[in-house]
Structure 1
Amino acid sequence: MPSMDSEPSPAMPEIKISIKGVHELLANLKPNKATGPDDLPARILKEYAQEIAPALACIFQRSIDTGSLPEDWRRGNISPIFKKGDRTKASNYRPVSLTSICSKTLEHILHSCIMDHLDQHDFFADDCILYRTVGGPEDAEQLQQDLNTLRAWETRWQMAFNTEKCFVMKVIHVKNPSTHKYMLGGSILQETSNHTYLGVDITSDLKWNHHVDKITASANRSLGFLRRLTSPSVQEEPRPGLSPHSVRPHLEYSAAVWDAYTQDQITQLEAIQRRGARFVFNDYQYTSSPTSMITALKWDPLSLRRKERRLNVLYDAVHGHLSIPARTILRPTTRSSRFVNINNTYHRQISTKKDCYKFSFFPRTIVDWNQLPFHITSATDQEVFKQQLHEHLRN
């Protein structure tokens, strides 16, 4: 590693292994956890945690101090898991290694200590994004300089970006966009019209059709899998806990960011819930009413749940619970209206002609926020706000 003239943050303290900490980790092991190449079962480690912890803590500390591991702990059963892209390329597979439970326990300790230190000093990031408003050749050149700086950083720290997995996406609404090519480490970066970032599919036109298609397909596969697992016999009682908890995460992950606004997208998402209701009642007859089933199950429309989530996120942003620069975007209302009050808990609406911006988080949620009663927007306690909002949206 390169030596720095000055350290911007304090060095990480030495890791000290405690018998108590090792004992707690062993006692909390799942008895049926898969064993590694050493064939030492989790049940033995769990049931005899008190007896094993002192010796294991000594081995852990010795391994950290010397930078070495027992030979058995270095071995692992590796399986390739496909991520995305071309299935014929090895780089599109993630290696998953099944190592010994003792080795995983030491790994857990090291990971916790390192992450605590990195989080304290804002070091950690597992991806990198550069962005800039490009209005002409000078802006494009400046963005290329940013990439050159990134290249210098990776060289200095003896790292290497995989340029095959680095992309350029231009968010534009013009007929003749810039054709400037960007490079990283001598390689021209590929251009793409959509890219998945933190589990959300973002497209160059900032529409959510591609993302909604993807998550509804995933939810449909999950429902199909559940149906194949269950008995085809008619159920006498509904099973309201099975479908929502296993499928909704597919449909609601980061929903505050991408909340669907076109009727086609809303209908496409609600269709999954209607299919889920049929699964719960095990009733797929054409004459049956999914709407009646949903009413009987007391399920809220997914659109209402997404709206509630957006309002909760805005509340958190306003009160500084999230790292969102809300104060630089939100402006208190100044003209006379039924929403104005002396405490300025309502916000000026953001004017825009583009639907992709009009229905994005802040412009859209501000409109919904300004329609809430004052006693909700002025709530100072987060739990009180959530409860009052929940009741208000359903009355």
Structure 2
Amino acid sequence: SRCHPNDMYVLAGDFNFPDIVWPVFPASMPFESWRTLPKQCRDFVDVASALSLCQMNNQPTRGSAVLDLFFTSKPECVMGVHLMEPLSDHASVNVEMTISTYKYNPLTKTILNYPKANVDAICANLVSFTTSYMEDFASRSTNENWNLLKFKLLQLADLFIPKVNIRSSVEKPWFSARLKKLLNKKHRLYRSAKLSRSQDAWEKYDQCNLTTKLEIKNAKRKYFNEDLGNIMRTNPKKFWTVVNPKQGRQSFSFSDDVGNKMSPLEACERFSQYFSEVFSEDLFPLPDYYPDSNMYHEMPQLTISATGVLKLIDEQHPNSTPGPDNISMKLLKLCKHECSTLLSLIFQQSLDTSDIPDDWKHAQVIPIHKNGPKNEFGNYRPISLTSVPSKLMEHIVFSNVMNHLCINNFIFVNQHGFRRSHSCETQLFEFSNDIHENLHSRLETHAIFIDFKKAFDKVPHHRLMLKLRSLRIDPFVTEWIAGFFSNRTQCIHYESKDSSPQQVKSGVPQGTVLGPLLFLIYVNDLPTRIQSMIRLYADDCVLYRKIEGLDDCMLLQSDLTFLETWCEEWQLQINVSKTKYLNFNNKRTSTQFNYTLFSIPIENVQTYKYLGLHFTPNLSWEPHINHVTAKANQTLGFLRRHLHSATRETKLIAYTSLLRPKLEYASLIWNPHQSYLIDKLEAIQNRATRFVLRNYTRTSITTLKQQTNIPLLADRRKITRLTALHHLYYHSPSKKEKYCPAANHVSARTDNSQKLQLATPRTNTFKFSPLQLSISDWNSLPDDIVTVKESIRFRSAIATLYNT
């Protein structure tokens, strides 16, 4: 692997290890089962892990045992694994992979060279254009005014911004034109020497061959020691295309129903057909929906100013992808003062008349792979690329509507998706805390994890508008949103091809600014009649209840029945096969109940992945940590292969940006207290530290970490939970009473002034639960730290305290 670090390795065959539970070794196995495995099995798994090989076949090949395995160093290249008819007593394993060949067809495209644009000429032309443009502005429609401005901007870009032809590079990033000339010269000299067979010709070839090898070696050294570090500082996007495990966008071939390979245009049309099939049409009559609108304050009338649009343009990222109209954010930023004036007039006209330009209602949809085989259309989600000016208008509408909803406390308190100061981690913290408290009280918790089917794409527009009109939003804004959704079209863009346009009959487009907010509004009334606890993260829903008897089970089932009624009324679908039931308990015998949805039994599982965490009935985090370390090992193997010659600085940034986040995601919730799990996590960082310093000798790992200023992961997790508790204590007044109870007794001699009440634990699970462990750490802090109210100063103070 040192000689060919970038090559793909494949290891396949009958390994005859029936005791190992795949897919992710040993994440699917309890620690006790892992310990009882034969030594040769554990040694085999350790070697595979150390070599960063990923096992892709999880299906039994003989009886119920997975004996025939397929390892690869590049799992991202595996599109699918299927079993075929056996040729012997073992099933045949068919693996579909994308493997690069040595013949490439590089793409050439023309782009605008914005740094060399004649900005003064563009602005001067826009100023003169504005005079004639404003003369008949009021007599033209919004669509006409927008088209005039769009064509003018594109015309000025064509005249005053130089064009550059770029070619997608298929060579190694360090490969240069000089090296290519040397290689061509070497090949010519070799052919000449072989034909002439003269000593002089062979000496010329040998000299050129030596020079070429030396130049390649120097080019590699220069790229990894100098260029890559400079790229990292000046062009982070280019740096991540080198380092990112996804290795850019890869194309995959698709086949039709009879197995023939599809052309890119045929694949576009099939994607378009698949994405259009999920749309739903409003069923009439609409539901009776008469909430008390008087409970909400009326939203002030929205007025759009040039100053506000200018500020908004300044806040946007310049590299955002342009939509189908080809107006980029870079172009708007070049002439932002002139554009902000003209756009503010168009925005206000569009708002006043509910007339939305056609370009703003058309989306270019990019299929993005979710999971599963990459050659199946159902494993992609549609992401919409819409007009950049349209997104600016959406930002204005979004901020004003969201402000109105927050003032009226409209959004469901347990909805953590797409909200400021809310995240996956806050959702997981509150959910896991409820489970911990119930386990501490010797109570079971039955949790139903609801899976909505294509929820964002199935929102019916008339039903959505019914809810919007009840919120006392500015009527001009409401009607603008109605116009924004009417007569929308989309086309699929894949492999430089576009499908024919399709009408968008339902849904809130993913990739738009308004989409997430409108979805939150649509599902906001779902919990109103739920008697159990329900938590939402956008369309991720968990419904749970502490169980003291069968009556509680019946109440939970009645909530599921109400959920059925709500979904039928508001035309959202639940995927019952992906909806799971998990019984949280630490009892030998637990309450059993058969929950159903639409008369279909819900599967009872022993582990469930919710928002990235693997939950188990007794809240053991060992399966999750095993999964995390296995994934981190794969990432470390990738970094070793691609950055083996890079500088220490580059490797360290790659580790802290790509690998360490995998070891720390939501660690507030799953922080382990068992030493063997703590060591297992730290072992990944130890290996990464040796990779960063390229020191694989017996040098003390503590010394190496001090050289790189890499703190222990356990210390970083401690800082994370203290920071989270600090935020609850000082910056979340609505949650402080529940999660930060004041201590019953505070000793002036031994306690800090902000001491919190710590519950008496009955089990280690509760003792080391996120909240209890955070309170314990908080109470041990000195008074001069716990009294610091600013989050940044507090985090800095505890980092200094723990020498991190």
Task: Name the TM tier (shorter chain).
Answer: 0.7 to 0.9
Aligned ranges for residues 30-69 of structure 1 at < 5 Å?
A: 30-69=317-356
Match of 2:562 among 130, 149, 152: 149
Aligned residues: 391
Corresponding position: 1:244 with 2:656: yes
Corresponding position: 1:270 with 2:556: no
User: Helix, strand or coil for the counterpart of 2:324?
Assistant: coil
Partner of 1:170: 583
Q: One-letter code of the match for 2:728?
A: A
Match of 1:352 among 762, 776, 783: 762
Q: What does the per-residue CA deviation read over 1:326-353, in whole Å, with 9 as the maximum and x for residues that have no partner?
A: 5577462559997458x57253452212
Corresponding position: 1:307 with 2:595: no
Aligned ranges for residues 159-308 of structure 1 at < 5 Å?
A: 159-230=572-643, 232-233=644-645, 235=647, 240-281=652-693, 283=694, 285-308=696-719
- Distance change (3 Å), C-alpha of 1:356 and 1:119: same
Measure the CA separation in 2 of the matches of 1:164 and 1:12.
42
Q: One-letter code of the match for 2:594?
A: K
Partner of 1:6: 292
- Distance change (3 Å), C-alpha of 1:234 and 1:134: closer
Measure the CA separation in 2 of the matches of 1:54 and 1:379.
44
Q: What does the per-residue CA deviation read over 1:275-315, in whole Å, with 9 as the maximum and x for residues that have no partner?
A: 3323322x153445443221111221010111122223333
- Distance change (3 Å), C-alpha of 1:135 and 1:73: same
Q: One-letter code of the match for 1:317?
A: L
- Distance change (3 Å), C-alpha of 1:374 and 1:234: closer
- Distance change (3 Å), C-alpha of 1:88 and 1:207: farther
Question: Is the contact made by 1:340 and 1:346 (CA closer than 8 Å) also made in structure 2?
Answer: no
Measure the CA separation in 2 of the matches of 1:340 and 1:52.
60
Tell me by how many angstroms 1:260 deviates: 1.8
Measure the CA separation in 2 of the matches of 1:248 and 1:361.
20
- Distance change (3 Å), C-alpha of 1:44 and 1:204: same
Higher strand share: 2
Aligned ranges for residues 303-382 of structure 1 at < 5 Å?
A: 303-319=714-730, 321=732, 324=735, 326-327=737-738, 330=741, 332=743, 339=750, 345=755, 347-353=757-763, 355-377=764-786
Measure the CA separation in 2 of the matches of 1:183 and 1:68.
46
Q: What does the per-residue CA deviation read over 1:346-369, in whole Å, with 9 as the maximum and x for residues that have no partner?
A: 53452212x322221233333333
Partner of 2:543: 130
Tell me by how many angstroms 1:168 deviates: 2.0
Q: Over the residues paired in the alignment, what is the CA RMSD in angstroms?
A: 3.5
User: Helix, strand or coil for the counterpart of 1:170?
Assistant: strand
Measure the CA separation in 1 of the matches of 2:301 and 2:642.
50
- Distance change (3 Å), C-alpha of 1:87 and 1:388: same
- Distance change (3 Å), C-alpha of 1:178 and 1:382: same
Tell me by how many angstroms 1:96 deviates: 1.2
User: Helix, strand or coil for the counterpart of 2:325?
Assistant: coil
Measure the CA separation in 2 of the matches of 1:186 and 1:88.
34
User: Helix, strand or coil for the counterpart of 1:357?
Assistant: helix
Measure the CA separation in 2 of the matches of 1:41 and 1:314.
42
Tell me by how many angstroms 1:4 deviates: 0.9
Measure the CA separation in 1 of the matches of 2:631 and 2:691.
16
Q: What does the per-residue CA deviation read over 1:64-84, in whole Å, with 9 as the maximum and x for residues that have no partner?
A: 445453223333332332335
Measure the CA separation in 2 of the matches of 1:257 and 1:322.
21
Tell me by how many angstroms 1:155 deviates: 4.5
Unmatched tracts of structure 2, length 5 or more: 1-285, 416-537
Partner of 2:799: 390
TM-score normalised by the chain length of structure 1: 0.82
- Distance change (3 Å), C-alpha of 1:95 and 1:381: closer
Deviates more, 1:57-66 or 1:85-94: 85-94
Q: One-letter code of the match for 1:77?
A: Q
User: Helix, strand or coil for the counterpart of 1:128?
Assistant: strand
Match of 2:393 among 100, 103, 106: 106
- Distance change (3 Å), C-alpha of 1:149 and 1:237: closer
Measure the CA separation in 2 of the matches of 1:94 and 1:273.
34
Measure the CA separation in 1 of the matches of 2:577 and 2:379.
10
Q: Which has the higher contact order (CA 8 A, sep 6+)?
A: 2
Unmatched tracts of structure 1, length 5 or more: none
Tell me by how many angstroms 1:387 deviates: 4.3
Tell me by how many angstroms 1:272 deviates: 2.6
Tell me by how many angstroms 1:23 deviates: 2.4
User: Helix, strand or coil for the counterpart of 1:76?
Assistant: strand
Tell me by how many angstroms 1:257 deviates: 1.7
Tell me by how many angstroms 1:46 deviates: 1.7
- Distance change (3 Å), C-alpha of 1:84 and 1:135: farther
Tell me by how many angstroms 1:267 deviates: 1.7
- Distance change (3 Å), C-alpha of 1:226 and 1:76: farther
